[in-house]
Chain A
Amino acid sequence: MLAAYMFVSVLLFAIGATGAMIRRNFLIVLMSLELMINGAGMALIVMSYYIGNISGQVMFLFVAAVAASETAVGLAIVAMMYKNKKSVDINDFTTLRK
């Protein structure tokens, strides 16, 4: 069963990563990032169960806190992008090059 649980976790992570790379809509990129974090957190819970150590669950708490911060900042960025260019397409924002 361990492998099965880990496959789910890995799948979530990989789907999230793929989404973050291929989508244009920044809001969906953010959601994909949430999915990645959730996948990583699931690995913690699975390992916590199979090793028999509660620390993994505590770690998930921290992961959740970081995910919440990330969403807050990410949404702030989306809001600003929208305010400035009336767009949430990441391809409209190439200021890293300049």
Chain B
Amino acid sequence: MIVEIIVFAILAAMAVGGGLGIIVTKNPFRAAMWMVLSFIGSAGIFVMLDAVFIAMLQLIVYAGAITVMIVIAMYTMDRLTIASLGRFNNQGYFGALFGLGILLDFIVIASKLRINTTFAGKNLSIAGSNVKAISDVLFKSYLLPFEITAIVLLIALFGAVALTKKDL
């Protein structure tokens, strides 16, 4: 138990610290690195929650693909242009205030959560395999949303291409 708490504390610190790093760093490249740290922390938390497949997905898609995509986008731009911007908006303190408000609201809601934890940690794998359990549900109950997701991705692809072609 104590080991679990220690591991959790480390991972949570990584995730939250990475997040804070993103929003205070001036240089977007460094922010991307902070983001990777945050995502790795999240992935660790997912492992603790028996979501092994999702943790791997998190590492590959978020920490890998999306970060790489953003970084590559940065490479196409002038370093001075993107890195020499001031950090915050003129009325950024408003944003901080609202963010704090949202945080407070959500924390109160999260602490009010009362759920039935009888099945905690159960049903998450079939024959010891988390992937099997996910695929079982994904391709039986959620087949149509799955297909629609494919279309959403396709349309996003089109959209991205169309946007970069057009002048503002």
Number of residues from B at the complex interface, CB < 8 A: 94
Q: Which residues of the other chain, A, contact B61 by a CB distance below 8 angstroms?
A: 64, 67-68
- Is B110 in contact with A3, judged by CB distance below 8 angstroms? yes
CA distance A24 to B39 in the complex (A): 23
CA distance A96 to B70 in the complex (A): 25
Task: Tell whether, in the assembled complex, residue A61 and residue B89 are in contact, meaning their CB atoms are under 8 Å apart.
Answer: no
Query: Interface residue count for A (Cβ, 8 Å)?
Result: 77
Q: Which residues of B contact A21 (CB under 8 A)?
A: 89, 92, 94-96, 98-99
Q: Are A31's CB and B32's CB within 8 A?
A: yes
For A16, the chain B residues whose CB sits under 8 A away are 19
**Chain B residues within 8 Å of A61, by CB:** 54, 57, 134, 138, 149
Decide if B3 is an interface residue (CB 8 Å cutoff).
no
Overall SS of chain B's interface: helix
Picked from B65, B81, B124, the residue with its CB within 8 Å of the CB of A86 is B81
Contact B159–A73 (Cβ < 8 Å): yes
Contacts of A1-29 to chain B: CB distance below 8 A: 1-25, 27-28
CB distance from A7 to the nearest CB of B (A): 6
Inter-chain contacts of B124 with A (CB < 8 A): 48-49, 52, 54, 57
B residues apposed to A, CB below 8 Å:
4, 8, 12, 15-16, 19-20, 22-23, 25, 28, 31-32, 35, 38-39, 42, 45-46, 49-51, 53-54, 57-58, 61-62, 65-66, 69-70, 73-74, 76-78, 81-82, 85-90, 92-96, 98-100, 102-103, 106-107, 110-111, 113, 115-124, 130, 133-134, 136-138, 141-142, 145-146, 149, 152-153, 155-157, 159-161, 163-164, 166-168
Interface residues of A (CB under 8 A from B): 1-25, 27-28, 30-32, 34-35, 38, 42, 45-55, 57-58, 60-62, 64-73, 75-89, 91, 95
